[in-house]
Amino acid sequence: MDDSVLDPLIHERARLFILTALLKSEGGKLSFSRLKKETGLTSGNLWVQMKRLEEAGYVQELSQNKRTTEFVLTEKGIEALEKYFSEIRQLFGKEEKK
């Protein structure tokens, strides 16, 4: 067994939805309201998850004004997602060889 461990911060369902929504968006950026619609999360849950991702350096909040808040996927977030997806592929590859 290798030493790869799925990043628990990303592996949590809500945060994985958030990060993948940002990843597939144009410029890696979405408004809070768009993220809420894309993920189906409540406002409170989305804020909590965004703060966790921001603390990890995976996303950055871009407040344009008091009415609009956008979040952008950081380079660190992109790298973490790439590593996460690579580890998932490795896990599936091992399962297929059984």
For the chain, which domains are there? Answer: 8-90 (1.10.10.10)
Confidence at residue 10, expressed as pLDDT on a 0 to 100 scale: 94
Give 60's contacts (C-beta < 8 A, 6+ positions apart): 54, 71, 72, 74
CA separation for the pair 31, 40 (Å, rounded): 14
CA separation for the pair 72, 74 (Å, rounded): 6
Q: Given CA atoms 64, 70, 71, 75 in this order, what sign does their dihedral have?
A: negative
> What tens digit of pLDDT does each residue of 28-85 get?
899 999 999 999 999 999 999 999 999 999 999 997 677 889 999 999 999 999 999 9
Q: Do the Cβ atoms of 77 and 58 come closer than 8 Å? A: yes
Q: What is the pTM of this model?
A: 0.84
For the beta sheet containing 59-63, the strands, ordered from the edge strand earlier in sequence to the opposite edge, are: 29-31, 69-73, 59-63
> What tens digit of pLDDT does each residue of 28-39 get?
899 999 999 999
Confidence at residue 65, expressed as pLDDT on a 0 to 100 scale: 73
In b/e form, how buried is each residue of 62-92, taking b as 16+ CB within 10 angstroms? eeeeeeebbbebbeebeebbeebeebeeeee
